[in-house]
Amino acid sequence: MIQGRCHCNAVQWTFDGQPDGATACNCSICRRYGVLWAYDYVGEAIQVSGKTQIYIRGKAIEFHFCPVCGCVAFWIAQQTDEQGRRRIAVNLRLAEPEAVAHIPIDHFDGLNTFEDLPRDGRCVAHYWF
């Protein structure tokens, strides 16, 4: 299990298991937030707690951040999929470095093509500095 929390500990999340990748996205919001996402579905592998403020981008995604320290903790899809599930992604930068250092980076071009790009061999540890 991986655990993450904002700087003041008011917002926390857990990821039960190990994500197969951490997504670095270059869309207009993710590049500003500087986040690395790990995905699942609400109420399944990911659990979140704590009061958050929400920024809604368009009609698709709610970005949740701590109202005290401002850390972006997770996002939740506003719509459900065919099975009635809502997608969620947690910000792996809120986890302790040793818990996520080995996770490979997946690049997503959310700015131009909206496509996954090939892995380049880097992992989360390469993004700490």
Q: Rounded to whole angstroms, how far apart are CA atoms 56 and 75?
A: 9
pLDDT at residue 99, rounded to an integer: 96
| Structure-token match 């949740």, residue found | 64
pLDDT of 68 > 90? The answer is yes
SS3 letters for 1-23?
CEEEECCCCCCEEEECCCCCCEE
Threshold 0.75, pTM exceeds: yes
pLDDT at residue 127 in the model = 87
54 vs 39: CA distance, rounded Å: 18
Segments in the chain forming alpha helices (H): 30-33, 97-100
Distance of CA 108 to the CA centre of its chain: 13
Task: List, in order of start, the domains of the chain with CATH numbers.
Answer: 2-127 (2.170.150.70)
* pLDDT tens string 4-31: 999 999 999 999 999 999 999 999 999 9
- The β-bridge partners of 2 are 15
Q: For residues 83 and 86, what is the distance between their CA atoms, to the nearest angstrom?
A: 9
